[in-house]
Amino acid sequence: MRKSLSKEVFNQLFTEARSHHHWTKKPVRDEDLKSLYEIIKYGPTSGNLQPARIVFVRSEEGKRKLYPALEGMGSNLGQVQSAPVTAIIAQDPLFWKEAPRLFPRMDVKGMFENDVAFAESIAYRSSSLTGAYLMIAARGMGLDVCPMSGFHNDIIDETFFKENSWKTNFICTIGYGDDSRLYSRDPRLTFDKACRFE
C-alpha cells in the first residue's frame, strides 16, 4: 500500500516551487538531464505512445540557434540566454508508427494513420503532459524551471526539426534559479472558483 509523501516533498514540487526567470551560474550536468528523462518516461501517455520528443539545448551553438525564435518576445530572449539549459518539448506527428511495439495488446495504429487531426490532438495532449512531468521531476531533483510559450514555433520547427517534422509544443528553461530575484507570488484561484463536486 502506497502512502502519501511528506509535506516537505509537496512543498518542493508545488507549493514553494516557482517559475524562475533569473538563473545562477551553476551548470546542469548532462547526466542529470539523462536521469530526468529516465524518470519522466514512466509518466502516462495516451496508449503508451509517448509522442513527446525533447531537445535539451545547452551548448553555446545550440542556444544561438534558438535566439531568432525569441526575437520580439520581451524578456524571454534574455531568460533563455542566461539559463544553463532550455528544453524544447516537441511532438512527433508520426508517433503512432511505434504503436505495435509500445501498445501491443491492441491494434491502434490505424486510428492515427487515417486521421491526422486526431493524431495531432493526441500528440499535443500527451506531449504537454510529458512536459509537465519534466517540470515536476526537475523540481524533485532540486532544479528550477520556467515553461514558456512566448516564442515563434515555426522558427524552432524550421531550425531544429526540418528533417523529422517534429512540432514544438513549448520550451522550458532549466537550471538553478536565483531566488533573490523572484517577484512575489501571484494569486491562485480558490477551490470554489476552479473546481466543483458533482
**In the complex, which residues of this chain contact ligand FMN (CB under 6 A)?**
18-19, 21, 76, 79, 146-150, 170, 185-186
Q: Which is nearer to ligand FMN, 35 or 149 (CB)?
A: 149
Closer to ligand FMN at the Cβ: 73 or 94?
Answer: 73
Give Cβ neighbours of residue 105 (< 8 Å, ≥ 6 apart).
Answer: none
Q: At closest approach, how far in Å is the CB of 113 from ligand FMN? A: 30
By Cβ distance, which residue is nearest to ligand FMN? 150
Mind giving me the DSSP string for 33-93?
Answer: HHHHHHHHTTS--GGG---EEEEEE-SHHHHHHHGGGGTTSTTHHHHHHHSSEEEEEEE-T
Q: Which is nearer to ligand FMN, 69 or 108 (CB)?
A: 69
Min. distance of Cβ 69 from ligand FMN in angstroms? 12
- The CB density around residue 8, as the number of other CB atoms within 10 Å, is 9
Burial bucket for residue 149 (CB in 10 Å: 0-12, 13-18, 19+): exposed
Quote the least distance from Cβ 171 to ligand FMN, whole Å: 8
Q: Which is nearer to ligand FMN, 21 or 58 (CB)?
A: 21
* Cβ at position 83, least distance to ligand FMN in Å: 11
Q: Residue 89 pairs with which residues in a beta bridge?
A: 54, 170
